[in-house]
Amino acid sequence: MQGKQPEGQQMEEGAAENGAEEDLGGLTVEELQQGQEAALALEDMLALSAQTLVQAEVDELYQQVRPLGQGRFGRVLLVTHRQKGTPLALKQLPKTSTSLRGFLYEFCVGLSLGTHPAVVAAYGIAIESADSYSFLTEPVLHGDLITLIQPKVGLPHSAAQRCAAQLASALEYIHSHGLVYRDIKPENVLVCDPDCRRVKLTDFGHTRPRGTLLRLTGPPIPYTAPELCAPPPLPEGLPIQPALDAWALGVLLFCLLTGYFPWDQPLAEADPFYEDFLLWQTSGQPEDRPQPWVGLTPAADTLLWGLLDPHPRKRSSVTSVQGYLGRPWRQRDGEAEEVDEGGGKGGE
Residue pLDDT tens, the chain, 348 long: 543 333 345 556 665 544 444 445 577 899 999 999 999 999 999 999 999 999 999 999 999 999 998 877 899 999 999 999 999 999 999 999 999 999 999 999 999 999 999 999 999 999 999 999 999 999 999 999 999 999 999 999 999 999 999 999 999 999 999 999 999 999 999 999 999 999 999 999 999 999 999 988 889 999 999 999 988 888 889 999 999 999 999 999 999 999 999 999 999 999 999 999 999 999 999 999 999 999 999 999 999 999 999 999 999 999 999 999 999 999 874 444 433 333 343 433
pLDDT for position 100: 97
DSSP-based helix, strand, coil % in the chain, nearest 5: 40, 20, 45
pTM: 0.88
pLDDT confidence of residue 234: 85
Q: What is the pLDDT of residue 72?
A: 78
Task: Report pLDDT for 336.
Answer: 41
d(CA 296, CA 273): 16
CB distance 294 to 286 below 8 Å: no
Asked whether 337 and 257 are in contact (CB, 8 A), the reply is no
Residues 284, 115: Cα–Cα separation, whole Å: 42
CATH of domain 53-137: 3.30.200.20
Catalytic residue among 144, 183, 245, 276: 183
pLDDT at 28: 87
Whole-number Å distance between alpha carbons of 293 and 202:
29
Distance CA 217, CA 2 (A): 22
Instruction: Report the candidate in 143, 104, 95 with the shortest Cα–Cα distance to residue 124.
Output: 104
Spatial distance between the Cα atoms of 108 and 124, rounded to a whole number of angstroms: 9
Contact 133, 103 (CB under 8 A): yes
Return contacts of 117-123, CB within 8 angstroms, 24+ apart: 117/166, 117/198, 117/200, 118/166, 118/167, 118/169, 118/170, 118/173, 118/198, 118/199, 118/200, 118/201, 119/170, 119/173, 119/174, 119/200, 119/201, 119/202, 120/89, 120/190, 120/200, 120/201, 120/202, 123/88
Domain spans in the chain, listed from the N-terminal domain onward: 53-137, 142-334
> Is 193 part of the annotated catalytic residue set?
no
For residue 119, what pLDDT is reported?
A: 98
CATH number for the domain formed by residue range(s) 142-334: 1.10.510.10
Find, among 12, 14, 46, the residue nearest to 209 by Cα.
14
The pLDDT, as a whole number, for residue 276 is 97
- The CA distance from 222 to 5, in Å, is 9
